[in-house]
Amino acid sequence: MISTSSRRRRGVMVPTLDVREEVTAARSDPDAVSRFCAALLASLPRADQRRKGELYVRGLLTASGRKTMRNLAAIADDPAAAQSMHHFISCSTWEWETVRAALAGHLDRTLSPRAWVVRSMLVPKTGRHSVGVERRYVPALGETVNSQQSYGLWLASETVAAPINWQLSIGKGWLQDNRARASVPADEDGTTSDGAAVQAVLKAAAWGIGPRPVVMDARHSALPPLIEAFTTAGLPFLLRISSGCTLLATGPGPRENRVAAASAEHLLSLTRAQRRPVEWIDPASPGARRTSLVAPLQVYWPGLSGARPPGPPAPAPPGAARAAAPGLPLTLLGKWQTYERGVRQMWLTNMTDAGYGPLLRLSKLTRRVETDFSQVSLDVGIQDFEGRSYQGWHRHVTLASVAHALRMLEGGAAG
């Protein structure tokens, strides 16, 4: 059975789950959805809300095609179900953050994740009435797209990944024109894309789940707010960066105290002789073994010389004077394919004591997230909310994340 006792995590009441019994139930008990939802939705104040929550999750798991209110309500033998579920999602009063905290605590124990992976979710829209929709330039596409953008925080291991938190990117201009219509709360003052990514991480960190390295493809992001926020929060990070990112490095030999600024690509071109092969198992193709060439280089991030990486400082040799660092010490990791001359990927991390093999394998967890997003999240309708309410969007992606977790349990992925 699932234990529905609760414990408080920094102000949020989180139902606790008996993980082993719940996983077994999900595989063999036809009422596993009811049992799972009963625990995760225990914070909803009314019994009718909890019933509608379970009905919504069942609809996400079983309805074919787009997860519209009509399709979701079709599993209920009630002509008024669509209107009732619309009110439950868009106009009700239940708090989605408490449900997310419960889901995060459960999956943190079930999956034994190795990382928190941040993934952007861009949803092109034809109209302009959905919450947060505006025309924005998308670097990955090289064009301006009318779209809604959010960031999901995923718990990821080599075998499975699941989202636990979401944050919308809402421009201040859109917010000024649409706050009342979209029922956006007064404490939401608008966020850039990078700010939304940071908030998705920091809000989840406040739930008390075990901290993991934050892994993110940040090639099209502004690095300063990411690095400064994660450093201030004491979180380890591993960020994929663009080739033109400027970093500080010290010169070799007698000029080792000379600090120079150069692009990540140029700095890594100087390490080709230090490249070493690392074997890794592809999370996107379980069992497939691949080999890449990698090389690390110590660099510095300017402007954060007073900060240091997580963990205890390295001891100085006896009698040695500690020179002032030109910035935050980081490791720049380059990855090459064995048959290519140019560097394929560049990653920046504050885990300066980690081996380059573990760092490379950690970076590959983004492939696990991409796989499970495509094969699970899209199938349970993570992008299908068509309402205009800020509250409704957050409640929908919360229950879609619950459905994602249940789909994994159905397939035995979490066991």
pLDDT digits (tens, 9 = 90+) for 346-363: 999 999 999 999 999 999
Q: Which residues contact 175 (CB under 8 A, 6 or more apart)?
A: 184, 188, 189, 190
d(CA 218, CA 339): 26
d(CA 133, CA 110): 35
Task: Determine how many CB atoms are found less than 10 A away from the CB of residue 185.
Answer: 9
Over pLDDT 90: what percentage of the chain?
Answer: 63
Average pLDDT over residues 324-348: 87
d(CA 296, CA 238): 13
| pLDDT band with cut points at 50, 70 and 90 for residue 8 | very low
User: Which residues are bridge partners to 277 per DSSP?
Assistant: 293
pTM over 0.85: yes
Confidence (pLDDT) at 413: 42
314 compared with 275, residue with greater pLDDT: 275
What tokens does 152 get?
Answer: 């999901």
Helix (H) or strand (E) holding 288: none
Closest CA to 373 of 111, 112, 148, 120: 120
d(CA 352, CA 376): 34
What are the helix (H) ranges across 121-180?
A: 172-178
Q: Judge whether 209 and 260 are in contact, CB under 8 Å.
A: no
Q: Which residues contact 304 (CB under 8 A, 6 or more apart)?
A: 227, 228, 231, 327, 328
In 211-303, where do the E strands start and end?
Answer: 214-217, 237-240, 246-250, 259-263, 276-281, 289-301
Find the range with the poorest average confidence among 9-13, 61-65, 104-108, 205-209: 9-13
318 compared with 271, residue with greater pLDDT: 271
pLDDT digits (tens, 9 = 90+) for 269-313: 999 889 999 999 999 887 899 999 999 999 999 877 555 556 555
Helix (H) or strand (E) holding 38: helix 32-40
Is the backbone of residue 31 left (phi > 0), alpha (psi -120 to 50) or beta?
alpha
Average pLDDT over residues 36-54: 95
Q: Is the pLDDT of residue 334 over 50?
A: yes
Q: Judge whether 350 and 301 are in contact, CB under 8 Å.
A: no
Compute φ and ψ for 63, nearest 5 degrees. -65, 140
Burial grade of 306 (CB within 10 A; 0-12, 13-18, 19 or more):
exposed
Burial grade of 251 (CB within 10 A; 0-12, 13-18, 19 or more):
exposed
